[in-house]
Each structure stands twice: as structure tokens, then as C-alpha cells.
Chain A
Amino acid sequence: MIITFPHMGRVYIPVKALFDDLGMQVVVPPPVSKETLEIGTRISPESACLPLKINLGNYIQSMEKGADTIVLTGSCGPCRFGYYGVVEQEILQDQGYHMDVVILDAPGKDPRILLQRIRKISGNSPWSKIAGAFMQASKIVEQTDALIDIYLRKRPREQNQGETKHQQSRFEKEVLKYHGSNEILNFIKECMEEAEEIPEDPYMDPLHIGLVGEIYTLIEPYVNLDIENKLGSLGVEVHRGITVVDWVKTHLSMNRGYKKKRKAMLNKGANYLNLCVGGHAQETIASTVHYADQGMDGVIQILPFGCMPEIVAESIIPTISRDRQFPTMTLTVDEMTGEAGYMTRLEAFVDLLEQKKGKKYEQS
């Protein structure tokens, strides 16, 4: 059994470590590229959301490298993500690919099904080993996110332009050479130290922009046209509304303190949206309010075209913007998104924020 999984930002790092630790063979799909998207777009339903198309591209590219089993997580609605597994399996079958799809769902009526599936993809390792591997993987999730946060902070302040970007892309390439969670953790630590040393411009006072929206488009750099990097090079410090750590903690951890904190966070948006409409719409609203309260300069919402929950959020955000005199912008991405138009919109938004900030200083 050679396992593969869909890409989602840097999730491949902990997942690879997890299967390494369990002693399973794993194929990390090639980084998402134009070719991935083309393969996916060709075989997926036209109006399916972008992540599905990219997932399918990932599977087929990994299969060419020898993978035969797909592992992905599921959910029970109302967002479409919950039914990805079934639809993807049907499409692959019709395309003549025979791959085993293992869906890790939240345990419903019978938790044994989930446990059996976990057993299956871990090559019948003992439970203690499986638990250990999961613990290590969640540590990597946390560390990777911490490292990305350093990059985000450094990017607008760096003295030599492009240095952070260079380091980050080196990290993302080289991390695949390491095997097992311990080696990977060590490498992340090395990279963190290296990143902290990037010389900063002490007089730089960057704009602060929060990124909110659908989780996949937020954390997969190919899909959002590497918005973190683009904004960083425009002199903006990017704050992320949703990270992989949040997702893991919300769905897999039993940590009560975190759940309480999350609830308090969600409550901030209660005036606008006080129930879950699926996906991350509630988080989008809550984070937008939170960023406005924190005195940031603006918020950008990103969603894949046709994303049902985010459309609800999209219609609420203008009200928040009006109520709090807070600049916001919504970007919809799909396979037709052109980089030039996207860049122009980002530049225009940043320009406006800079002018607004300049005015604030003149008045004070």
C-alpha cells in the first residue's frame, strides 16, 4: 500500500511525517501547478469548487509516481467538502483509475468504522504507536505554522528584498528530504533560527491586513496566487484568520481551554452571524470583527468561486465595513483567475490603505 493525500498548503509536512513514523510508504503529490489544475479541471464537474479540481489533479499526479491509496478527511455537511470523497472516487473510477479511497470521517453512529480505517492506513501498527505518531504530527503542525508566522512578520520588514521568500521556498523544498518526525522537527527548528536572523529594517512601519475566508484558498499558495508573498513584498504584514493549527485543534483536540477561547472568538461576530452556516463563514465574520477591533488597516476575504458558506459571509462583510469604517475587499478565485488583474486589485487596495493611514498621521 502506497499512500497519497491531497495538498492543502503545508499540510503535507505533518502528514508525511505521520506516515513516515508509522512506517508506511507515502507519495507526496508534486506541488500544485498549472498542470495539476489542468488535469483536475478536465475531469471534474464544471461547477464544482476549485479545491475538488486540484485534489483530483493531485491524485493523478501522485498515481503516476506509484501511489495506490488516497487518504482524505471528511465532514458531515453542510459544506460540499464532506462529500468530496465519494464524488472523487466516482470520477477516478470512470477515468479508469483504480485507487482505494479511505475517508477519515468524524465518528458518527459507529466509531469502530473510523478506528478500522485508521488501522488500515497505518499498516496495523499498535495503537500506542499510532497515538505517538499523531502527537508528533500535531507538534509539526504547530511548529510549521509558527515558522510561517515568522516569515510573515519578516517579509515586509526585510532589508534585502526577496530574502524571506528565498528561505521559505528552500524550506518547502528541502523538508521533503527528511524522513520521520524527529528529523523534520529538527529541520524546522533550524529554519526558524535562520529566519529569525533575517536583518530587519528598523524604520519600517508596515500596514496590517487580515486574511479571512475559505480555509483551502487561504492556505494553499497556488490557489491564492501566493497572496501572502505578494502582500509582503508590497510592505504589508499579513495576519491569518484561519490556520491549520486552528483546524486541527478544533476538530481533533480535546483541549477545553482552546475550545473556550474559540467560542469567545466566534462570539465577537455574533451581532452579524451567530450560527454555523457550514465551512468557515462564522470564523470569517468573527475574524473580520476581531481585526477591526484590533485596529488593523484592512481585511481581505478570499473564496473559491461558488463556495456556498462564504457567499453568506460575503454579503455580511460590507455591513461590518460600514459599521466600523473598516476597509474590506473580497477576492473570488477559480481556474480562470488571471494573475495580472489580481495583482492590480491588491495594489489598489494597499494604495488606498496607505493613503488612509497617511491621513491619520497628518491629523494626529
Chain B
Amino acid sequence: MKIGIPRALLYSIYLPLWKTFFEELGHDVVLSSKTNQDILNSGVKNCVDDACLPVKIFHGHVMDLAGKVDMILIPRLISVHPGEFICPKFIGLPEMIKNDLPSISNLLVLDFNAHGRAEKAYDGMKKLGRELGASLSLIHSSLKKAQLRQEDYKNMLENGSSPQDLLDIRRDNYIAKEAYSNMGIYYKRGLELRETDQSKDAEANPTKGMIGLIGHPYLVYDTYINMNICRKLKVSGYEIVYPENCGLEEIDRACARYPKKLFWSYGKRLLGSGLSMMRDRRIQGLILITSFACGIDAFIDELLIRANNREFLLPLTTLTLDEHTGEAGFDTRLEAFIDMMEWRNKYDNHFSPHGSGIYSGQGIVR
């Protein structure tokens, strides 16, 4: 059977787990096309207006898969870590799809709930395996293999790779080469041929430093939604640090400054990785990337900005994305941010003979 996985929302984090599992069960896995204008348009058209951009795009990806595959996987991620949740829209995602796209009925809903105990999270996959008619032993071995792959993948992310590097094969990129050998057959089947000159551009310029890019995986790793911000930063000579490059312990340590435990796993990851990036001062500046009306980012970005204003005083900017964002305006803001950051680093130790120096202000570029 052909199973389609929408290339949206958290696919960039969980793809190895899902893909390996279904392939080991003997099914074919097909990914939807990369996000493009058609997907965006059909998503926006078929989703409630109030939803955020990533959810609308998910709708578009489901429509892209319709007719091409036998079943479409709709993950219902309730919780990915004991005692925590993720955004409520993920919990209601299958219902949103069912009601917004009534013509698509061949949905494969995968529950993932680690709220009680971490091992319980895989019950949903076992159940799904049974529904697909696999034997218990096959399900067990497939799940084990999938979990191992997912673990490898997670380790590689924490060691500094980005999902884009790992999921798109890039033969002349050493990280991808490593990925290629580590991940074995999984990557031999190949997901996507690399986008041509990306890494060449990056190598042309010597790196000027690192920039932290804080945002949800579905914004940071989708080159269409974020107008290829990663490439633009690399072309300007900066390396990027992603939230996924941070280990869980580090995140927990950084978040301990707040009196109440944060209960969104991805919110916590963004906040903790942002704080620890600011604290260890290896980054030159921080870019917060958020989608319009994102409920979680409204709070997380606020906390990050306030912590930065109070203690760290790093250059920081927020870029908000929605379906109307124009690339020219986006680029202008990005260039302005990089200019301000570089000027500040260049002139910051000029002492003004009178008053406060114009470059050594608050350090915040909003």
C-alpha cells in the first residue's frame, strides 16, 4: 500500500520514525511535494481563516497527496514528552482535516501521546500497525528499527546538523555524507535530490560568525515558507544555529529561571535554546521567526526578548510570516538586521564624547 506523508508541520523532526516504521511493515512511503504556491493557495482556501500559516499549509499538503496515494498519514501529536503538550492545534489536527476537507476520506490517523509515560507514546503506532494488518512480531521489530533511526537522527541534530541537511541528500556536503553513511539504507532510497548550488554559495564566503535562528521546525526548515532564510544567511557569510542543535538537558537548565515549568515541548525548546545561545555568547545575533497569530510564539518570543533586553543585549529581531508576506520586504529587513549587527560589532567600542553612543544603544533591532 502507498502511504503518503504530508511534508508539513513536524515531519522534519519525526520523518525517520514514521518512514522507517511503514517501510519495515512493507508499505511504500510517498512524500508530498515541497511546499509551493499551489499548495499554499489550496491550503489557505480550504482552512478556517483563523488558523496559522503552518496549519493552512498542512491542509495544502494533504490535498497535494490526495489521489496519489492509498492512505494519507495525519499525525496527532498530543504530547512528545511526559507532562508536556504541544500546540492544541496539533491535537485537533485530524478533526480539522476531516471537517475542512470532507472529500478526503482515506486518512490514517496516528496518535502519539507521551503525556503519561514516554513508552506509551508508541502505542498509537502499534495500534496503527495492527489496523494495517501486520503481525505483532513484525510490528515490534519495525518499531524497534524505527526508534533506532529516530534516535540516530536526533543525535545528529543535536551535534549541529539541520534537518534540511539530513533529509535532502547533498553529496558534496560533508554533513550529508556523514548522514549518508550513518543512516544506511534509509537515505539510499533517497528523499529528494539536493538543491543545486546551495552549499557552494556558502563555501564561497568565509564565515563571519554564527546567528541563532529561533523558530518552530515547520518554519525554520521549510524553505518556501521562510523565503529560504537559511540560504540567505549563509550567503551573507553566517553559520546558523538551530533550536534542534540544543540538547534537552541544556534546555531544561536554561528554562529553570522561570518560576513555572513551561508545558509546551517546542515552546520550551525555543525558549531554552534561545537562552542558552544568548548565554554562551558564541552567536552574533538572534533571529526569531514566527508565523502570524502563533499562540505559543507570542509568549515565548516575549520572554526571550525581555530576557535579552534585561541581561544579554544581543542584536535581535523578529520576523513574522504569513501567507501575504512579500519576499522583497522580508529581504530588506534581513539585510537591515545584518547591517545593524555588523556596524554594532564594528563601532561598539567607540566612546562617545557626549551623551550615549548611537551604536551602543539597547542592542535591539526591532
Q: Are A and B a genuine interacting pair, yes or no?
A: yes
Residues of A within 8 A of B (CB): 45-49, 74, 76-80, 82-83, 85-87, 89-91, 94, 103, 105, 272-273, 275-279, 281, 303, 305-309, 311-316, 318-319, 332
What is the CB-to-nearest-CB distance from B178 to chain A, in angstroms, rounded to a whole number? 36
CB atoms of A312 and B95 under 8 A apart? yes
CB within 8 Å of A: which B258-273 residues: 258-260, 262-264
CB neighbours (8 Å) of A276 from chain B are 91
Given A78-B263, A312-B89, A87-B303 contact (CB < 8 Å):
yes
CB atoms of A306 and B91 under 8 A apart? no
From A48, A80, A105, A306, contact of B50 by CB (8 A)? A306
Given A94-B310, A308-B89, A316-B95 contact (CB < 8 Å):
yes
CA distance A82 to B78 in the complex (A): 17
Nearest 7 pairs between A and B by C-beta? Answer: A312-B92, A78-B85, A77-B263, A278-B88, A47-B298, A45-B302, A308-B88
* Most A Cβ at <10 Å: residue of B83, B92, B95, B294: B92
CB neighbours (8 Å) of B84 from chain A are 77
Given A45-B302, A105-B260, A311-B50, A273-B296 contact (CB < 8 Å):
no
CB atoms of B309 and A94 under 8 A apart? yes
CB neighbours (8 Å) of B98 from chain A are 319
CB closest residue in chain B, given A322: B102
CB atoms of B88 and A79 under 8 A apart? yes
What is the CB-to-nearest-CB distance from B98 to chain A, in angstroms, rounded to a whole number? 8
Residue count of chain B within 8 Å CB distance of chain A: 40
CB closest residue in chain A, given B262: A83
CA distance A76 to B258 in the complex (A): 15
CB closest residue in chain A, given B92: A312
From B48, B102, B260, B292, contact of A314 by CB (8 A)? B48
CB atoms of A85 and B85 under 8 A apart? no
CB neighbours (8 Å) of B263 from chain A are 76-78, 82-83
CB atoms of B87 and A47 under 8 A apart? no
CB atoms of A275 and B296 under 8 A apart? no
CB neighbours (8 Å) of A103 from chain B are 259-260
CB neighbours (8 Å) of A89 from chain B are 259
What is the CB-to-nearest-CB distance from B366 to chain A, in angstroms, rounded to a whole number? 11
- With A90-B303, A90-B306, A315-B100 given, can you name 5 additional A-B contacts, CB distance below 8 Å? A77-B263, A78-B264, A85-B259, A315-B92, A319-B102
CB atoms of B48 and A311 under 8 A apart? yes
What is the CB-to-nearest-CB distance from B57 to chain A, in angstroms, rounded to a whole number? 15
CB closest residue in chain A, given B111: A275
From A45, A79, A279, A311, contact of B51 by CB (8 A)? A311
